[in-house]
């Protein structure tokens, strides 16, 4: 009995020692984002936001150090799968984050689910990720395609025009975003005059511009980002369409990095997004000041997405006091997280694992010498319906 008691005591001591060692190890977060190709700037901005928030908390959460391990998604779903497997199997990460393309998110979904690795998506917005292909291990802190674009449809019909040309990139997010906009637009009496999808990474939009001109719409609703957005806007303006056709677009099209490349010719373009430079709240003012001080540049919504992804992760790690050994407890902490973001109050919806948040109508403007977006209207607190 004495020997058994000593054995149990020794086992308990050994368990406490192992737990103590685990608590001393850094928490490894694997980040998969595009650092090359047409979405390299997006990956850079999301990373800037992530690192800015981690610097704010001293790269600490729950009494443990945080370490980011970054891999290049290369705007290729097959590469994303390979990089996620490396981070999980070789680098032994505790959590995953990032993911630019929705097709990459779909591609890694089953692997992440089977390995039961918590994934906090910082960008990819395809609806199905938090609907029919929802996993208890996958959370999204950015936005869904429906959530961003459905409320913009009625607003455009009432405030911009009833005849709109629909343009988007030919992949999951582009199609879902267009369908969501069209749903709200039709309900408000709008009339799409055409619907066109273009390949990712297009270098010439002149044929698209010609089709838009021939359709004679009141406005164009475009779902583009990265280099596609820059090239489209540049040619739209070069061909003079901006003098007679309004832009009422996805927030990615008038992202601050895109505006930097286009200049004042983009003034007046309307968009819908979850963040606006002019939002008057203390978290936004603090974020903008910290970003501009560190990077000597104007922040954009991609940086906000990275910032908030880390804020949700840090909040959850603090809730479980750095103990990641109980995965269900960690998942519950992410599921119930609420944060004060630069975009306003944001909380995770436990029914979808997608955030509930405000969506705003915006307009490109020059404010205090900065080319950015100003607030036009708060379209309300929007929750993805989950089906």
How high is the pLDDT of residue 10? 57
**β-strands 344-349, 354-367 pairing:** antiparallel
* Length of the chain in terms of residues written: 387
The pLDDT tens digits of the residues spanning 106-128 come to 999 999 999 999 999 999 999 99
Nearest alpha carbon to residue 379 among 141, 130, 184, 176: 184
Total Cβ atoms within 10 A of residue 380: 10
Q: Are 29 and 95 in contact (CB under 8 A)?
A: yes
How high is the pLDDT of residue 99? 98
**β-strands 219-223, 191-198 pairing:** unpaired
Q: Are 81 and 89 in contact (CB under 8 A)?
A: no
**Measured between alpha carbons, how far is 123 from 141 in angstroms, rounded to an integer?**
8
Q: Are 234 and 266 in contact (CB under 8 A)?
A: no
What is the fold, at CATH topology level, of the domain defined by 147-273+361-382?
Rossmann fold (3.40.50)
Helix axis angle, 152-159 relative to 172-187, nearest 10°? 50
How high is the pLDDT of residue 324? 97
Give how far the C-alpha of residue 156 lies from the chain's centroid of Cα atoms, to the nearest Å.
23
Domains 10-143+280-350 and 147-273+361-382 share a fold: yes
- The ranges of the chain with pLDDT < 50 are 1-4, 6, 15, 18
How high is the pLDDT of residue 8? 54
**Greatest Cα pair distance in the chain:** 92
What is the fold, at CATH topology level, of the domain defined by 10-143+280-350?
Rossmann fold (3.40.50)
State if pTM tops 0.85: yes
How high is the pLDDT of residue 315? 98
**Measured between alpha carbons, how far is 150 from 154 in angstroms, rounded to an integer?**
8
How high is the pLDDT of residue 3? 47
String of b and e for 50-79 (b: at least 16 CB within 10 Å)? Answer: bbbbbeeeebbbbebebbbbbbbbbbbbeb
User: How buried is 351 (Cβ within 10 angstroms: 0-12 exposed, 13-18 middle, 19+ buried)?
Assistant: middle
Q: Which residues contact 200 (CB under 8 A, 6 or more apart)?
A: 38, 75, 169, 170, 171, 228
How high is the pLDDT of residue 16? 52
Q: Parse the chain into domains and list their residue ranges.
A: 10-143+280-350, 147-273+361-382
Six-digit token pair at 85? 């497997």
């Amino acid at each position: 009995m004495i020997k058994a008691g000593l054995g149990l005591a020794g086992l308990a001591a050994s368990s406490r020692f192992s737990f103590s060692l685990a608590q001393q190890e850094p928490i490894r977060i694997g980040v998969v984002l595009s650092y090359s190709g047409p979405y390299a700037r997006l990956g850079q901005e999301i990373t800037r936001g992530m690192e800015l928030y981690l610097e704010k908390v001293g790269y600490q959460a729950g009494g443990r150090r945080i370490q980011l391990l970054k891999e290049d998604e290369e705007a290729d779903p097959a590469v994303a799968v390979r990089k996620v497997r490396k981070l999980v199997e070789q680098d032994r990460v505790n959590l995953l984050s990032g993911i630019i393309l929705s097709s990459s998110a779909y591609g890694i979904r089953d692997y992440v689910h089977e390995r039961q690795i918590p994934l906090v998506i910082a960008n990819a917005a395809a609806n199905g990720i938090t609907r029919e292909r929802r996993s208890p291990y996958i959370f999204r802190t950015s936005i869904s395609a429906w959530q961003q674009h459905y409320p913009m449809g009625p607003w455009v019909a009432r405030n911009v025009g009833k005849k709109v040309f629909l343009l988007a990139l030919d992949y999951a997010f582009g199609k879902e975003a267009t369908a969501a906009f069209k749903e709200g637009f039709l309900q408000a009496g709008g009339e799409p005059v055409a619907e066109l999808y273009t390949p990712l990474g297009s270098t010439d939009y002149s044929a698209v511009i010609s089709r838009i001109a021939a359709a004679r719409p009141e406005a164009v609703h475009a779902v583009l980002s990265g280099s596609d957005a820059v090239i489209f806007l540049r040619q739209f303006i070069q061909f003079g369409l901006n003098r007679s056709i309004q832009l009422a677009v996805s927030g990615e099209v008038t992202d601050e990095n895109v505006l930097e490349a286009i200049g004042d010719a983009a003034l007046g373009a309307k968009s819908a997004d979850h963040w606006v430079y002019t939002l008057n709240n203390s978290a936004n003012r603090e974020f903008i000041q910290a970003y501009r001080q560190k990077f000597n540049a104007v922040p954009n919504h991609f940086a906000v997405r990275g910032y908030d992804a880390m804020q949700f992760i840090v909040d959850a790690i603090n809730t479980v006091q750095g103990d990641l050994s109980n995965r269900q407890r960690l998942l519950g902490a992410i599921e119930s997280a609420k944060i004060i973001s630069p975009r306003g109050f944001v909380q995770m919806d436990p029914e979808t694992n997608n955030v509930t948040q405000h969506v705003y109508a915006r307009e490109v403007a020059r404010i205090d010498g900065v080319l950015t977006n100003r607030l036009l209207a708060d379209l309300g607190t929007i929750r993805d319906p989950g089906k």
